[in-house]
Structure formats: structure tokens, C-alpha cells
Amino acid sequence: MNDETGLVQNRLSTALVIALLIALATGCGTLLKLAGSEADAIVFESGELRTIEEVPLAELDLACQKAVEMLGYEEIERTYEADSMRLTARTVGGEPVELQLAATRPRRTELRIRIGVLGNEARSRLVLEQIHQSL
């Protein structure tokens, strides 16, 4: 092994260790954001599923309403602010469901989904899939 190859391998190993430390310190969601574009990432962190959708806020709001209806959830409350919306519902089993939308650009909206008090990744992904089907 020549000196140049060893130097490249050493730098690569250092970068990998740094990425691992970032993931351990802040959660895997940060590592996903470093690895790919923000729009591609679906991150479950702190009990909440987060993603960026390439659709306007109003269109995503309508898809969320349809998804809640299709899943048989009872809508409790919907609140609107300038560039955001929050929909609160309840599952058939009584668990709270919270969908938060925030426009980040005219055709880009951040979506946050929390099912239950502590969060449920599998059920949150089910809601996300239903939202995607409703778009």
C-alpha cells in the first residue's frame, strides 16, 4: 500500500467515524439529511414522522383530510395559520392523531405525523401512504 492510498483510507475512516458520532448524538434523521436531499428523507424521530412533500400546502391539506376520512379517523379540530395547518383526529381505538403542515416554499410543504402520545412509526407510515394515495 502506498502512502497516498493510506491517506485516502484514513480520511474516509475519519469521515465515517464523524458521521457515526453525529448519528449517535442527534439521531439517524440528521445522518439521512446529510446523506441525501431533504426532499427525499422520511425521518421518524422523537415519535414523529417528518417529510418534505413537493406539493403546495392547500393540496397537501386536502390529501390529509381525505386520508383521515379513508382511514376512518374522527377529525377533532383543524387550525390554520398563515403558512401552516394542524389537523387533530382520533383513531378508531381512541389514539390521538396529529398532522402538521408548514409551507416552506410555494410548492414545498413539510409534513409531520404523530400517532399516539409517544408516536407510532408503523401507523404514521400508514397515514403517510394514504396521504400519498390521496394526492
Q: Are 68 and 89 in contact (CB under 8 A)?
A: yes
Whether 102 and 54 map to the same domain: the answer is yes
Amino acid (1-letter code) at residue 40: D
Model confidence band, residue 14 (pLDDT cutoffs 50, 70, 90): low
**Model confidence at 4: pLDDT above 80:** no
Q: Are 73 and 61 in contact (CB under 8 A)?
A: no
pLDDT of residue 59: 95
Whether 24 and 71 map to the same domain: the answer is no
Whether 14 and 41 map to the same domain: the answer is no
Pairs from 1-10 (Cβ < 8 Å, separation ≥ 24)? none
The rounded distance, in Å, linking the Cα atoms of 29 and 119 is 15
Q: At 119, is the secondary structure helix, strand, or coil?
A: coil
- Average pLDDT value over all residues in the chain: 81
Whether 6 and 71 map to the same domain: the answer is no
Model confidence band, residue 36 (pLDDT cutoffs 50, 70, 90): very low
Domain hosting 20: range is 1-28
Whether 51 and 108 map to the same domain: the answer is yes
pLDDT of residue 16: 53
The rounded distance, in Å, linking the Cα atoms of 45 and 101 is 17
Model confidence band, residue 41 (pLDDT cutoffs 50, 70, 90): confident
Residues of the chain above pLDDT 70, percent: 70
Per-residue pLDDT reduced to its tens digit, 58-108: 999 999 999 999 999 999 999 999 899 999 999 999 999 999 999 998 899
Higher pLDDT, 28 or 73: 73
Model confidence band, residue 29 (pLDDT cutoffs 50, 70, 90): very low
Whether 62 and 88 map to the same domain: the answer is yes
Whether 4 and 70 map to the same domain: the answer is no
- The CATH number linked to 67 is 3.30.310.80
